[in-house]
Amino acid sequence: MDVLDARRIPVKASDRAVRGGEIPYYGATGQAGTIDRAIFDEPLVLLGEDGAPFLDPYKSKAYLVDGPSWVNNHAHVLRPRDGLDRKFLRYYLDVFDYRGYANGTTRLKLTQASMRGMPVPIPHLREQRRIVDTLEDHLSRLDAGDRYLVQNIKRMNGWAASMADELIWSPGYSTRELGSLLREPMRNGRSDRAVTKGSAGIRALTLTAVTRNEFTDVNTKLTTTSPHMARGLWLEPGDILVQRSNTPDLVGTTARYEGPREWAIFPDLLIRVRPDEEVISSAFMCAVLRSERAHRSLRARAKGLAGSMPKIDQAAIAAVQIPVPNPRGQESIVNKLAEVESTLVVLLTTLRAQQRKSAALRRSLLRAAFSGSLAGRSTCDEVHEELAQ
């Protein structure tokens, strides 16, 4: 095959935004945007160079592109020669064991030299196409099942969001601006660099803690923030944290901390909100801010230049209208929302277990295709069962 890496050109997102255009711009794992002109215009196979999930057996590492395209320096550009089917190569690269080929301490990289040393089986072209046809027949069934699972996950999340909005935004509740419901002013956090490995430091949240609503050590880092500068930034149970900058979909994402005091501080990209508990509970206020209606309001207030992360400020949060039922009503709504969340977790757990099974079957199919054991199997389950023996 021909390696066309020398023709790749990386272009920053901000520069692409200025240039405009509709030509697909590709990176390590797929399309990363668009640009105004092409540097390739032919059927190609792209294989991640860095940033690809090389050691995850269930994720793709290679993909096909056709027509005009632009590729950055995070993907190898491959042109199969006569005698090597492009789809056959793509599927083989997805199932290949990259251990010993992709290396790196923090970010795995498949250098061009390592890639050139990878063995690629090349049976007769007719056999390659037979393998691809058989494989795609099975994969098409898995794809249909995966689409069904994704649709049901969206439907379940939509049901939960609808239930939350119905419970929270009753027409009978009076509303007040969030800024009038606080016991103290809002506060932005602080971000300092991470300590060197093995050094002591002040624990700080990452945005992921709020995005996933998971306040665990995994979603923190130790920083060089001094004890003096950390004063006033330590989390307390009931603190509400709002993302002031993120992607257009995630800016304004909110979560409530319920852990121990002084476990961690919060970074500059989060704004801390502490409600007046005599008027409104933090659990209820957080539920309001997490509702689709309130989150949509925050996203609408976000500002940012093209190519940059949109941002909201304290004034935008303070202006959000918050329904204020009586304390007993707030407690009742929070309890009902907990029931909805519990039901949602059960449903999503079941659906995601099916997704994992589908991913395992997909992996088994790929392995079977390149080990010669796919022929004669009529169903995906038969392949999986034989390989499991």
Give CA–CA dist 65/358, Å, rounded: 25
Of 8, 7, 63, 72, which is closest to residue 30 (Cα–Cα)?
63
Tens-binned pLDDT, residue by residue, of the chain (389 aa): 899 999 999 999 889 999 999 999 999 999 999 999 999 999 999 999 998 999 888 889 999 999 999 999 999 999 999 999 999 999 999 999 999 999 987 789 999 999 999 999 999 999 999 999 999 999 999 999 999 999 999 999 999 999 999 999 988 899 999 999 999 999 999 999 999 888 889 999 999 999 999 999 999 999 999 999 999 999 999 999 999 999 999 999 999 999 999 999 999 999 999 999 999 999 999 999 999 999 999 999 998 865 568 999 999 999 999 999 999 999 999 999 999 999 999 999 999 999 999 988 988 888 888 887 775 445 555 555 544 44
H or E segment to which residue 271 belongs? strand 270-273
pLDDT at 76: 96
Q: For residue 11, how many other CB atoms are within 10 A of its CB?
A: 15
pLDDT at 375: 58
* Residue 167 one-letter amino acid: L
Q: For residue 148, how many other CB atoms are within 10 A of its CB?
A: 12
CATH of 2-122, one of 3.20.20.140, 3.90.220.20, 3.20.20.80, 3.60.15.10: 3.90.220.20
Write out the two tokens for 58: 């269930």
CA 208 to chain centre: 10
pLDDT at 37: 94
Write out the two tokens for 42: 């032919």
CATH of 174-322, one of 3.40.50.300, 3.20.20.70, 3.30.360.10, 3.90.220.20: 3.90.220.20
* Contact (CB, 8 A) for 75 and 49: yes
Domains 2-122 and 174-322 share a fold: yes
Of 188, 260, 254, which is closest to residue 217 (Cα–Cα)?
260
Of 242, 228, 225, which is closest to residue 186 (Cα–Cα)?
242
Q: For residue 301, how many other CB atoms are within 10 A of its CB?
A: 17
pLDDT at 198: 80
Angstrom distances, CA of residue 82 to CA of 2, 85, 86, 122, 180: 11, 8, 10, 11, 71
pLDDT at 386: 45
Instruction: Enter the pTM of the model.
Output: 0.73
Of 46, 41, 7, 5, which is closest to residue 29 (Cα–Cα)?
46
Each domain of the chain, given as residue ranges in start order, spans 2-122, 123-173+325-389, 174-322
* Ramachandran sector of residue 368 (left: φ over 0; alpha: ψ -120 to 50; beta: rest): alpha
Write out the two tokens for 119: 């063995």
